Amino acid sequence: MSILSGKKVLLGISAGIAAYKTASLVRLLVKQGAEVKVIMTPSSKQFITPLTLSTLSKNHVLSEFTETHDDNPVWNNHVDLGLWADLFLIAPASANTIAKMTSGQCDNLLLATYLSAKCPTYIAPAMDLDMYQHHSTLENLEKLCDIGVAIIPAEEGELASGLVGYGRMAEPEHIVSYLSDHLLHSAPWYQKKVVITAGPTHEPIDPVRFIGNHSTGTMGYHLADVAAKLGAAVTLISGPTSLKVNHPNIVIQNIMTAEEMLTQMKLCFKESDITICAAAVSDYKPESMSHVKLKKSDANLELILVKNPDILSWCGENKKKQFLVGFALETHNALTYAKAKMQNKNCDLLVLNSLSDAGAGFGTTTNQVTLIDKQLNTIPLELKNKRLVAEDICEFILNHYND
């Protein structure tokens, strides 16, 4: 899966022969999993039809401030469009559009949307070589660059005029890889290594039975996805769950027992920047596993359980630079127990789940947690979807990573 997957891309097309290449550009963006909406300047429709672009983007193509639908005038809200987008790509960006962007003119929907947009803007200039090298164009590009617009450089080659030189719009493949690289490098956790434990552990009694718990792993998997989308390289050490991961930044290590989880943790903890222990590890395991199925008899069966390693405690004892996050699941005296865990396990953040709260705990899509920071301040969060809880936890880490 690409970093562009799920991104909302607004593609602005201005008038230039390179507009014909936007059909491939839309196709490539959609193939990467992006949702694409297209805005065209009125003159750009001479170079490629809105029908082609709406078919490829699967969205209505916009060009005018107002349109008529069933005899009713409809306003195309440029403010909403600007807020909808995760990124605004203007390709091709003609010399005229670049000049108008620089001076804040907005005599068409594309320019009005540019002025309203809050998201990062990228432009792929396309024009003849003399226009590209003209003092005014260079000055305009510099001004846009200074205010944070990313310029995807034009490429060298044969131009529509027959001249050869710089000015061709970057090839659609190059635009897509520029966007991917730029998004990745500007991601807050780019080059950060994050290790997450998730799910239950299964401690075998015999070949068919085990000691486990109700954990589904949902919280840990959401955390892995959020961290990956923030640009981190994530190792997800997962106990048995039915969940799947689908992000190129996530490497999954499947384990069954607490011992196996600790072995995996020992392999990656030293290199990690952030470690989050969200797994519901079984505290005890049978002293020995029977290699044949235990047969039923009239007598009671007694199992001797011995302690499992505590992975979070091991991380707390061995941590150097790592930001360490633990979870606590409590049924009573929640805050007292959680604060003790926070200190005993040497965490930087503890996430308290209280099973006594409705909508929190195992098997629910929602969770109600309280964050406990290093100074033992408590920050109760509202009951919310586990995905949003994962985002809140990562935001807390982002804000306190260097404390």
Point out which residues bind ligand CTP (CB under 6 A).
Answer: 197, 258, 277, 279, 281, 283, 308, 310-312, 326-329, 341
Q: Which residues of 22-58 are buried (b: 16+ CB within 10 A; e: fewer)?
A: bbebbebbbebebbbbbbbbeebbebbebeebbebbe
Cβ distance to ligand CTP smaller for residue 81 or 311: 311
As measured in angstroms, the least distance from the Cβ of 303 to ligand CTP is 18
As measured in angstroms, the least distance from the Cβ of 273 to ligand CTP is 18
- Residue 81: phi and psi, rounded to 5, are -60, -45
In the chain, the amino acid numbered 11 is L
As measured in angstroms, the least distance from the Cβ of 392 to ligand CTP is 17
Cβ distance to ligand CTP smaller for residue 183 or 329: 329
Cβ distance to ligand CTP smaller for residue 12 or 217: 217
Helix (H, G, I), strand (E, B) or coil at 49: coil
Instruction: Round to whole Å and give the CA distance between 379 and 157.
Output: 58
Angle 263-293-257 from CA coordinates, rounded to 5°: 15
User: Does residue 213 carry a catalytic annotation?
Assistant: yes
Cβ distance to ligand CTP smaller for residue 178 or 327: 327
As measured in angstroms, the least distance from the Cβ of 321 to ligand CTP is 19
Query: Which of these is catalytic: 213, 353, 385, 399?
Result: 213
As measured in angstroms, the least distance from the Cβ of 208 to ligand CTP is 24
Cβ distance to ligand CTP smaller for residue 170 or 261: 261
CB 378 within 8 A of CB 363: no
Helices (H), 104-195: 109-116, 129-133, 135-146, 172-185
- Residue 102: phi and psi, rounded to 5, are -65, -40
Beta strands in 271-342 (DSSP E): 274-277, 284-286, 305-307, 323-330
CB 25 within 8 A of CB 91: yes
Active-site amino acid positions: 213
